[in-house]
Amino acid sequence: MTSASPNQNSSLNHLLPPNWKTKITEWLQEDIPSFDYGGYVVGEKETTAILYGKSEGIVAGVPFFTEIFEQLGCRVEWHVKEGEVLKPIQTCAHVYGPVRQILIGERTALNMMARCSGIASQAHRLRILKEKNGFKGVIAGTRKTTPGFRLVEKYGMLVGGADTHRMDLSSMIMLKDNHVWSTGSITAAVQKAKAVGGFALKIEVECRSEEEADEAIAAGADIVMLDNYEGDALKIAAGNIKQRWAAKGRQVLVECSGGVTEQNIEGYFCDAIDIISLGSMTQGVSFVDFSLKVQKNA
């Protein structure tokens, strides 16, 4: 089977933070705040349920799915691997345990798998476009993630082969228009950022023109983001910036963002662009369809 993940045919759960399992507990507590009325109907008899993949995509979310059911006293046996290409209708896993416990975890697990796999699938398609066009830069997500679900969405990006960009506000210093306007100038904003970020954190500045990019680089920015540029204007601006500062002995990364989608990203590929970031990798992404079916009594 083809794998989309950089770690071929392997889960990335060893990247997860120590407290990730508490997030699963919170999901289950949110879904059943009081009584499980439907669970009363089915009882605690041991049964088996099958996870079916019903649409094409990349499988992502295996450790989260497994943990949901393990917290409910069930066991999961997987027949597909993280990052594997799904060919519907495909048997992905068996879940064994008390029927009530399986049904408690069903919707939470399916919701997570559908979204995580959807993000991984889009990341994988973007990576294929990158390779097809010979683009040497990075395709990344953004911080446009769902509150409380960021870890899963960023995980899906990694499984699909995309860069996560910033995990959070503490991961690199990005100065956007509101930071600059509130501080008074790009130079002042960068100087203040350098004073607290020290040598360990890179600084990126959102820029609307070559002049703003030059000011940011002169002030000490490591990355400039050309925001909402289109077509040839983007490529010309990026090329000018790289060439101008290379002549001065400065290597700077150029990122473009704003309005980039899977449908138009090929128009952004060029040698002067180092990073292309897409909020659409997590916003409005299509889900992968899964279902979990309890086996009927003989």
In this prediction, the residues of the chain whose per-residue pLDDT falls under 70 are 1-11, 298
Give the 3-state DSSP-derived string for 172-209, with helices as H, strands as E and coil as C. CEEECHHHHHHHCCHHHHHHHHHHHHCCCCCEEEEECC
Give φ, ψ of 174 to 5 degrees.
Answer: -110, 120
pLDDT for 11 equals: 67
The Cα–Cα gap between 261 and 43 comes to: 47
The whole-model pTM stands at 0.92
The Cα–Cα gap between 117 and 17 comes to: 20
Spatial CB neighbours of 73, under 8 Å, sequence gap ≥ 6:
97, 98, 101
Tokens of 129: 């476009």
Q: Contact at 8 Å (CB) between 205 and 237? A: no
| pLDDT, tens only, 154-204 | 999 999 999 999 999 999 999 999 999 999 999 999 999 999 999 999 999
DSSP 51-97: EEE-SSEE---HHHHHHHHHHTT-EEEESS-TTBEE-SSEEEEEEEE
Question: What is the amino acid identity at position 262?
Answer: E
Q: DSSP character for 47?
A: E
Q: Contact at 8 Å (CB) between 288 and 57? A: yes
The Cα–Cα gap between 73 and 25 comes to: 13
Catalytic residue numbers, as ranges? 144
126: helix, coil or strand?
Answer: helix
Q: Where are the beta strands (DSSP E) in the chain?
A: 46-53, 57-58, 75-78, 85-86, 90-98, 138-140, 173-175, 203-207, 223-227, 253-257, 275-277, 290-294
Give φ, ψ of 85 to 5 degrees.
Answer: -75, 125
The Cα–Cα gap between 37 and 196 comes to: 53
Residue 75 neighbours by CB distance under 10 Å: 12
pLDDT for 297 equals: 73
pLDDT for 4 equals: 43
Spatial CB neighbours of 44, under 8 Å, sequence gap ≥ 6:
98, 99, 100, 101
